[in-house]
Amino acid sequence: MNNIPRQQLHALITQQGHAVCYDPNQCESRLRELCPEHPREINLLISALKENVMAELLAVSEDTPKDAVLSKLAQRLYNNLGMAPEEAHWAVESWALALGVIETASFTTSQADTTAKPSHSKITAADREWWNRLDYEWKGFFKKTFKIQGEPNDAQLAKQVHLQELSCSNSQISRLEPLSHLTDLQVLTCSHNKIVSLGPLQNLTQLRILD
């Protein structure tokens, strides 16, 4: 996981107080403004918030063993939401750090996303055909997101078809059929759109987080 969203959460609470996080939607909106390139980590933080992690951390007394509390909350995220253990631990620890419940992190992560992301540089005829078949809305979205002018070159197209994380919130998109080609997709954020059906996502076997 990338620690930038964790740091932005801490800064947000330091500057504006706990109240900014009382409403999960408001908190999510602010984090997406501050670090839009990290939807996966933001989803983890907001999911933890909705499970009352912040409220319970704020209620922890000085003499309560912090490790036990963090472990209990991480276990809740694992049980209730199906988070991977490392994701649950990271999310709970991020809130504890942001709220000042703990001062140092025990779950070490780097500034760069440590999730293995294979390098893909080759495209197929099917990939180019996928692009040619995209409707106006999706082509416009991808061109804006990846700063593409005209037709994408092979490197730009490869980056799209091998995406592992994608956020298309507030993009006036209703059809998800084009995403069925993005089989490497693991995290998808498509909130605040009038989505017709999630059916096109059923073959994305690696998709773990959908918001």
Q: Could you tell me if 85 and 143 lie in one domain?
A: no
Q: Answer whether residue 112 is part of any domain.
A: no
Number of domains in the chain: 2
Q: Could you tell me if 142 and 201 lie in one domain?
A: yes
Q: Could you tell me if 133 and 76 lie in one domain?
A: no
What lies within 8 Å, CB to CB, of 176 at 6+ separation is 190, 195, 196, 197, 198, 199, 200, 201
Q: Could you tell me if 82 and 132 lie in one domain?
A: no
Q: For residues 207 and 150, give the distance between their C-alpha atoms in angstroms, rounded to a whole number.
A: 30
Q: Answer whether residue 118 is part of any domain.
A: no
Q: Answer whether residue 115 is part of any domain.
A: no
**Tokens (6 digits) for 94:** 């991020």
Q: Could you tell me if 92 and 145 lie in one domain?
A: no
Q: For 60, list phi and psi in degrees, rounded to 5.
A: -70, 130
Segment 130-143 mean pLDDT: 90
pLDDT confidence tier of residue 106, bands split at 50, 70 and 90: low
Residue where a domain terminates, one of 52, 82, 99: 99
Segment 187-200 mean pLDDT: 85
Q: Could you tell me if 134 and 176 lie in one domain?
A: yes
pLDDT confidence tier of residue 188, bands split at 50, 70 and 90: confident
- Find the CATH number of the domain harbouring 174: 3.80.10.10
What are the DSSP calls for 74-92, one per residue? HHHHHHHH---HHHHHHHH
**Tokens (6 digits) for 132:** 């040619």
Q: Answer whether residue 175 is part of any domain.
A: yes
Q: Could you tell me if 131 and 202 lie in one domain?
A: yes
Supply the DSSP symbol for 49.
H
Q: Could you tell me if 130 and 89 lie in one domain?
A: no
User: Does the pTM of the predicted model rise above 0.75?
Assistant: no
Q: Could you tell me if 135 and 90 lie in one domain?
A: no
Residue where a domain terminates, one of 82, 99, 116: 99
- How much of the chain is helix, strand and coil, in % rounded to 5? 55, 5, 45
Q: Could you tell me if 94 and 173 lie in one domain?
A: no
pLDDT tens figures, 51-104: 999 999 999 888 888 888 999 999 999 999 888 888 999 999 999 999 988 887
Q: Could you tell me if 132 and 95 lie in one domain?
A: no
Q: Answer whether residue 94 is part of any domain.
A: yes
Q: Answer whether residue 148 is part of any domain.
A: yes
Q: Answer whether residue 160 is part of any domain.
A: yes
Q: Could you tell me if 63 and 133 lie in one domain?
A: no
Write out the residue range of the structural domain in which residue 145 sits: 125-210
